[in-house]
Amino acid sequence: MTPQRSTGAGAEAELPEYAGQYLLESCLGSGGMGVVHLARSTSGLKLAVKVVHAEFARDREFRGRFRQEVAAARRVSGAFTAPVVDADPEAERPWMATLFIPGPTLSEHVKRNGPMPTAQLRRLMAGLAEALRDIHRAGVVHRDLKPSNVLLAEDGPKVIDFGISRPKDSELRTETGKLIGTPPFMAPEQFRRPREVGPAADIFALGSVMVHAATGRGPFDSDSPYVVAYQVVHDEPDLTGVPESLAPLVRRCLAKEPEDRPTSDELMRELRSVAASYDTQAFIPAQRTGEGPAAEAPAAAERNRKSFRRQAGKKAALAIGGLALVLCAAFASVQLLGGGGQVPPEASGPRTKAAAFSAWRAKPVGEGAGMPQCSYGTGKLLCTRAGVVFALSPADGTLLWQRSVATGSTSGPPTVSGGLVQPYTVGGTRLTALDPASGRNVWQRRLPKGTWIRYAGGTALLTGPDGTVTGVDSTTGRTLWHRAFPGRGMPSFTWFPGDSAAYTTMSADGSSTRVTAVDPRSGDVRWQARLSGRLKPFGAEGGSVYFLALDRVYGDARAVVRYLPGSQSTQRVTLPIALAGAHAAVRGNTVYLLASGGSLAAVDMAARRQLWRVETSVSRGSTPVADGDHVYFTAADGRLLAVDARKGTLAGQTRALLAADSADVPGAPAQPVIVGNHVYATTPDGTVFALDGRDPSGW
């Protein structure tokens, strides 16, 4: 489709046909800074491509501001924004491509349908509060939140357009240059002291946006931007028409002083009754086409109910209410943490025909904060949560035993090392080994404060505050060896199930990484290698060690690296698009990467190319795990998602389940566990559940 021509003021007489490699199909809209086009990637993924007006492309100051916008948009997760797919701020006409999100802007919706009803307003406010929390955690201040910068997507509001001024959006100017923002939605400090604008300015804008959504006008209204600016700084907001249940909170957002406004976290707590029940219900009755997931939801719900009717007993009935399938409309075919993502040895191997299995869910240790983190070992599901270690029956979720961890706090799932249960602790002064049958102490060992603990096979590796490392037999608690690793500072070890070595890495300046493989039982160095780039190990399989190659500044994953110690050879596969905050796992020759913004990609190391990539709209996800058919991961809101490992398409997901007593969600969601045909996962309210992994469409 040939791009539309624009005859509007300030726009080019004819729009470009390409932005980089992307053919611009049609014009989605034109603003003061540029034009947004609909385009498609090579694989057919719909994109929204912003191309800057030529007059601003010649402005060095603007180019710098546009680079900042691209960097800011990349840092913020894609669950609440339009994820950046590609960009070239250095092009003759700078451009940025983001995932196309169907749905109107809030401005369009209110203009077309009038003010929102109370229920939709509450969902909107909860969604925007969560979006701002995510944005502010990334160190970004939006500074221009307004109805036209809020997209009403199927799975909640998305905030767009980061960090640039819009000279033609406003006639108001400051003495030092162009105003940053739009007067009706700007905070008082943006007029009084613009250099001191922080996250609280976005909260003020949120309040103004809510008034617009509830009434069709702003809390400060005038045809003159100068009058609006005066009203924002001096007058009280007009909240006439805002529902009584929301007016007090909106008024707090519109406080004149930044310190008097709630933070995004405080907003989430105020709205926790909303956030706890927040799901992917559409903000609008139907999508633009009148088709898609909104139309399929009733049929999907019926399919889900029929699937669970095949499961007998009270537990199956409970699963119907707690694990109903919600289709994810934001899924479309087509980023610095990592726990390895390995399938436990007991769970690997070919799948066999199992006995009848009923999905179950349990909340075994009562109330309290924390998403349980689980592993599988000695025939049990072993979990930790808020200082408690407990064991469940994988068959039905029965609580077998539980034990408090008195010293330190649990961090990560328990490990079975030396045949005993070894709970990870942070800041503790004791190393504890538990009997897997009863949970009773088998042995304990006092530790110097500040000791780092890692397990490798049947050995506990203890890095003391002085940097020396002690190897301890996990079965007996006996010291096996004690030594220093010169030039390593305080070495932190990584070990992957089934591997015979533990790894420690050191990168002084990011240009190269020194990798040391250590024998956990003897402390001997097996091999060392200096590899190019800043590398982070995430897996080992088939005699190879796998790393993510990270950007030296931002830490984005730019490539997957496989090192073969036997031949001392390195294989590097560059990712088409860098992935921020990526978790990775390897199975066979395929590496799966889940970015902090929800991008899930599969890389074939044998073919040396990316197989597929999908945008999941998950803000923070766990390290993925994979079997031969699916890739599984958990979202911070408690959803378990399954993606077809071959096609990269959504296979199924459970509904969101947040803690009823808290608006907080975990920063690093717990990794699912695969055992045979079954998948085990957890939610922020303390629930542990099990599902049949062979048919995620029936979840």
Q: Which residues are catalytic?
A: 144
> Which residue reads 């209204």 in tokens?
221
What is the Cα Rg of the chain in Å?
Answer: 27
Question: How distant is the alpha carbon of residue 416 from its chain centre?
Answer: 28
Q: Are 672 and 681 in contact (CB under 8 A)?
A: yes
Question: Which neighbouring-strand residues pair with 528?
Answer: 516
| Measured CA angle at 226 (ends 221, 228), to 5 deg | 20
In angstroms, how far is CA 437 from the centroid of its own chain?
36
CB-based contacts of 319, cutoff 8 Å, min separation 6: 308, 311, 358, 359, 360, 361, 689
As a dihedral over the C-alpha atoms of residue 439, residue 445, residue 446, residue 452, rounded to 10 degrees, the angle is: -80
Please, which residues have CB within 8 angstroms of residue 545's CB and are 6 or more apart in sequence?
Answer: 503, 515, 517, 537, 539, 562, 563, 565
Q: What are the distances in angstroms from CA 641 to CA 36, 134, 149, 172, 632?
A: 32, 21, 29, 47, 6
Chain length of the chain: 699
Q: Which two tokens stand for residue 58?
A: 């010649």
Q: Which residues contact 557 (CB under 8 A, 6 or more apart)?
A: 335, 336, 548, 549, 550, 551, 575, 578, 579, 580, 582, 584, 593, 595
Dihedral pair phi/psi, residue 265, rounded to 5°: -65, -40
- The three-state secondary structure class of 525 is strand
> With 0-12 CB in 10 A as exposed, 13-18 as middle and 19+ as buried, what is 653?
buried
